[in-house]
Amino acid sequence: MSELREKARKASECARILSTISTEEKNQALQLIAIQLIEEETYLLKENDKDIVTARQNGTNEGLIDRLTLTSSRLVDMAEGLRQVASLSDPVGEVLSTDTRPNKLKISKVRVPLGVIGMIYEARPNVTIDASSLCLKAGNAVLLRGSSSAIHSNTALVTVVQRALEQTKIPVEAIQLIEDTSRETATEMFTLNEYLDVLIPRGGASLIQSVVKNASVPVLETGVGNCHLFIDRTAEKDMAISIAVNAKTQRPSVCNAVETILVDREWAILHMKELLQELANKSVSFVGDEEARAYDSRIEPATESDWENEFLDLKVALKIVGSVDEAINHIYTYGTKHSESIISEDALNVENFLNKVDAAAVYHNSSTRFTDGFEFGFGAEIGISTQKLHARGPMGLEALTSTKYIVQGQGQVKG
Amino acid sequence: MSELREKARKASECARILSTISTEEKNQALQLIAIQLIEEETYLLKENDKDIVTARQNGTNEGLIDRLTLTSSRLVDMAEGLRQVASLSDPVGEVLSTDTRPNKLKISKVRVPLGVIGMIYEARPNVTIDASSLCLKAGNAVLLRGSSSAIHSNTALVTVVQRALEQTKIPVEAIQLIEDTSRETATEMFTLNEYLDVLIPRGGASLIQSVVKNASVPVLETGVGNCHLFIDRTAEKDMAISIAVNAKTQRPSVCNAVETILVDREWAILHMKELLQELANKSVSFVGDEEARAYDSRIEPATESDWENEFLDLKVALKIVGSVDEAINHIYTYGTKHSESIISEDALNVENFLNKVDAAAVYHNSSTRFTDGFEFGFGAEIGISTQKLHARGPMGLEALTSTKYIVQGQGQVKG
């Protein structure tokens, strides 16, 4: 039996135990993992260093190396994250509804763990701890499949986690790392319906698409955000510019940053130059349609790909539109149903936009940068779902649960 | 462009309109479809007859021909079903939560339609109307892909539905039938992520498995129920026997019927013979483990396949167990997480069973035959989900919806 199948089988067995573990025991385990991470700093940094040496030998760029790097203070942050998850209320066992039917059957809908979660992710070793803590808190076993570039770091982190679990009633197989980082193993995970209840890919668009296309295990799709800001005719100038600058530049590499700004024609005549100047002051470069380009010679012509894809960079696409409906149609054509915002003082246009734009989060007079589990008050985030089934938008602990019906009778038979 | 892609594109356009159609307009459309079905009885029965003639020529068995047949009274039932769906409350627009964050952003979670639903189903033409009415009520466009054996019936039904829709504000593309019933077209549907938000297969296990294995569009898996009844030591004799007989024989061909009865050893010594006699009186045949077989020479040896698969027939597998934990382990090994029941007067064993058995519905002192959208009070059912994501157990209108976050601000930017 392959490493993957063997660990998946153990995870499935373990999930049965986890579903009956008390909140206190789960919280205690999270606290113990936090302590263990700090205690084993020397070991963790030494193992992490092996990955960094290899990355440098492979000519990895400094941005990626930074994301790969563990430091003393990053371990402290991870420990703090674990304690925060421990402080969140436990979704498992929550009674969502109770109904007594005319035949006296009492039917309760109760939150239960999903079971076994497969995480497939890239580079950042902090995902190893984030995902593990959320899966554990929601009573799930997790199979972690990180990238080969972080294999020493991930192995060390999971070793430390398991040392902590050894001190609890929770089997160490609750959190396991797949050490074989070959592509074949990832592919085998895609179809391991026998043991896996859900797959969560975290990483670039190509990883996510590969999982969505090839997995028969149900997938929670996260990630790609081609987000738009629509500045309506009645938008207040200062508010619109401040939101545009924030949504584009505050952290351009993330999925809830804005990629295209749609500007009402009349607003553009009055304020387009100031908008462009403020963005340029933050080193933003521009592409745009012909009408937008007439405002500034620095605006390069936008290609179809510019409208379709995330820049994830200090670059923005600009388009002049004649109405809220034209903006809505553009978003329908090019959006990825992540986060979309309208800046407007016109109640009818706002209602139109919020109702008709189909996205996980639609905003009025706000930056799109708030689409995030912490900002939404969930206390944690396993990712941002861009699919419509199960969970949509920021996913906290509840997204890592399912439900079951508990039916209590007194001998009922069907007539 | 293929028929499928063209219709899917239209469905996607139509879904945008449907999401803003009022409850009254949707209900009116359902009422008009009900009227149209009755008015066009002659046409519908004539077209249905073509399918029946073909089925007889192909030597189709009478059971399947009966399921294929439309009659005057079945059309009346369909019309009644449409009126019932019209009377259900509209899930779309329901506000599930509202939260004002410390930064004054007001975040509401609102129920919205899923979008475009692909239904892939076998034989029974009534599914055409059932599925259409539920999808429409929840604001979704639906692409119907029935089987070739019902093509004339389905074409006629959808023609009649569209004639009714022509009298409303709802575009006729809200409900479309794929007339090309080739396998290639079904396969093309599996990966039409560009236009389809979800696939719902309804039919035999092989159809469902084919969709689950091959679809990149998210799937709502329905159907297979290898359900168990556990008769505990303390089970009241008459209750246990009456539930066993009901769960096995009241309608053996359905997914919530019981396939295996697990009998506590001590209970068996006292009551096994009577249980077997009552089942035999209803023409049930038996397979069982060695210990069960000692009670009756009519019990054939059970094979691994008998424990694993649904009989969907007047046949039951019998196994003697020593404890509730042995029963739980058997269900873990062979169950399909559909419906599982314990008959017991021992509170601890009941709690153990209800907590540890992982299934869409777990029962105490009741037949499993109640796992059904109508019995659960949903007023309708699109199928019974055996997966853990999105919806689990009987699926009513809510399962055909997603959510979106509506965020209202006053110029908020992320710090």
* Contact at CB, A413 and B242, closer than 8 angstroms: yes
Same domain flag for A317 and A401: no
Residue B379: inside a domain, yes or no? no
The answer to whether residue B17 neighbours chain A at the CB level (below 8 Å) is no
**Partners of residue A369 in chain B, C-beta under 8 Å:** 413-414
Joined tokens for residue A18? 């986890």
Same domain flag for B232 and B188: no
Nearest CB among A198, A356, A370 relative to B414 is that of A370
Same domain flag for B47 and B72: yes
* Contact at CB, B355 and A404, closer than 8 angstroms: no
The answer to whether residue B197 neighbours chain A at the CB level (below 8 Å) is yes
Number of compact structural domains in chain A: 2
The CATH number given to whatever domain includes residue A61 is 3.40.605.10
Q: Please give the average per-residue pLDDT across B217-245, as a whole number.
A: 95
CA A288-A292-A293 angle, 5° bins: 75
Instruction: State the sign of the Cα–Cα–Cα–Cα dihedral A279, A281, A282, A284.
Output: positive
Provide φ and ψ at A256, rounded to 5°: -95, 10
The mean pLDDT of chain B is: 95
Nearest CB among A355, A362, A390 relative to B389 is that of A390
Same domain flag for A168 and A261: no
Residue B261: inside a domain, yes or no? yes
Comparing CA positions, the residue from A93, A107, A180 lying closest to residue A137 is A93
Compute the nearest-CA separation of A337 from chain B (Å): 10
CA B286-B289-B304 angle, 5° bins: 90
The CATH number given to whatever domain includes residue A331 is 3.40.309.10
How many CA atoms, within 13 angstroms, populate the side-chain half-sphere of residue A166? 7
Q: Quick one: which H or E segment has residue A223?
A: none
* Domain extent at residue A163: 3-221+390-408
Residue A375: inside a domain, yes or no? no
What was the ipTM of the complex prediction? 0.93
Are residues A300 and A287 in contact, defined by beta-carbon separation less than 8 angstroms? yes
Compute the nearest-CA separation of B50 from chain A (Å): 35
The answer to whether residue A19 neighbours chain B at the CB level (below 8 Å) is yes
Same domain flag for A151 and A113: yes
* Contact at CB, B413 and A363, closer than 8 angstroms: no
**Partners of residue B376 in chain A, C-beta under 8 Å:** 99, 101, 107, 405
Same domain flag for A70 and A153: yes
CB pairs under 8 A between A and B: 210
Band of pLDDT at residue B205, cut at 50, 70 and 90: confident
pLDDT greater than 90 at residue B206: no
Q: Please give the average per-residue pLDDT across B373-401, as a whole number.
A: 92
Instruction: Report the greatest alpha carbon distance in chain A.
Output: 80
- Secondary structure of chain B as H, E, C letters: CCHHHHHHHHHHHHHHHHCCCCHHHHHHHHHHHHHHHHHCHHHHHHHHHHHHHHHHHCCCCHHHHHHHCCCHHHHHHHHHHHHHHHHCCCCCCCEEEEEECCCCCEEEEEEEECCEEEEEECCCCHHHHHHHHHHHHCCCEEEEECCHHHHHHHHHHHHHHHHHHCCCCCCHHHEEECCCCCHHHHHHHHCCCCCCCEEEEECCHHHHHHHHHHCCCCECCECCCCEEEEECCCCCHHHHHHHHHHHHHCCCCCCCCEEEEEEEHHHHHHHHHHHHHHHHHCCCEEEECHHHHCCCCCCEECCHHHHHCCCCCCEEEEEEECCHHHHHHHHHHHCCCCEEEEECCCHHHHHHHHHHCCCCEEEEEECHHHCCCCCCCCCCCCEEECCCCCCCEEECHHHHEEEEEEEEEEEECCC
Same domain flag for B181 and B291: no
* Contact at CB, B364 and A407, closer than 8 angstroms: yes
* Contact at CB, B362 and A404, closer than 8 angstroms: yes
From the candidates A197, A338, A404, A406, which should be mutated to test the interface with B, based on the most B CB atoms within 10 A? A404
pLDDT greater than 90 at residue B252: yes
The answer to whether residue B87 neighbours chain A at the CB level (below 8 Å) is no
How many Cβ atoms sit within 10 Å of the Cβ of residue B312? 16
Same domain flag for A8 and A120: yes
pLDDT at residue B346, as a whole number: 98
Place of tokens 């304020």: A271
* Contact at CB, B405 and A360, closer than 8 angstroms: yes
The answer to whether residue B260 neighbours chain A at the CB level (below 8 Å) is no
Same domain flag for A151 and A69: yes
Q: Quick one: which H or E segment has residue A349?
A: helix A347-356
Residue B340: inside a domain, yes or no? yes
Distance CA B97, CA A402 (A): 19
Nearest CB among A112, A242, A355 relative to B411 is that of A242
Share of chain B above pLDDT 90, in %: 89
Per-residue pLDDT of chain A (415 residues; tens, 9 = 90+): 799 999 999 999 999 999 999 999 999 999 999 999 999 999 999 999 999 999 999 999 888 899 899 999 999 999 999 999 999 999 999 999 999 999 999 999 999 999 999 999 986 898 999 999 999 999 999 999 999 999 999 999 999 999 999 999 999 999 999 999 998 998 999 999 999 999 999 888 888 889 989 999 999 988 789 999 999 999 999 999 999 999 999 999 889 999 999 999 999 999 999 999 999 999 999 999 999 999 999 999 999 999 999 999 999 999 999 999 999 999 999 999 999 999 999 999 999 999 999 999 999 999 999 999 999 988 888 999 999 999 999 999 999 999 999 999 999 999 9
Residue A14: inside a domain, yes or no? yes
pLDDT at residue B151, as a whole number: 96
* Contact at CB, B16 and A364, closer than 8 angstroms: no
At B4-27, the pLDDT tens digits run: 999 999 999 999 999 999 999 999
Q: Hey, which residues does A288 pair with through a beta bridge?
A: A301, A318
pLDDT at residue A206, as a whole number: 87
From the candidates B104, B366, B384, B387, which should be mutated to test the interface with A, based on the most A CB atoms within 10 A? B366
Nearest CB among B99, B112, B216 relative to A212 is that of B216
Same domain flag for B36 and B180: yes
* Contact at CB, B405 and A362, closer than 8 angstroms: yes
Provide φ and ψ at B237, rounded to 5°: -55, -55
**Partners of residue A405 in chain B, C-beta under 8 Å:** 360-362, 371, 376, 392-393
Nearest CB among B362, B371, B376 relative to A406 is that of B362
Nearest CB among A107, A246, A406 relative to B354 is that of A406
Q: Please give the average per-residue pLDDT across B385-390, as a whole number.
A: 92
Same domain flag for A206 and A270: no
Residue A13: inside a domain, yes or no? yes
Compute the nearest-CA separation of B352 from chain A (Å): 10
pLDDT greater than 80 at residue B123: no
Residue A307: inside a domain, yes or no? yes
Residue A376: inside a domain, yes or no? no
Distance CA B229, CA B284 (A): 15
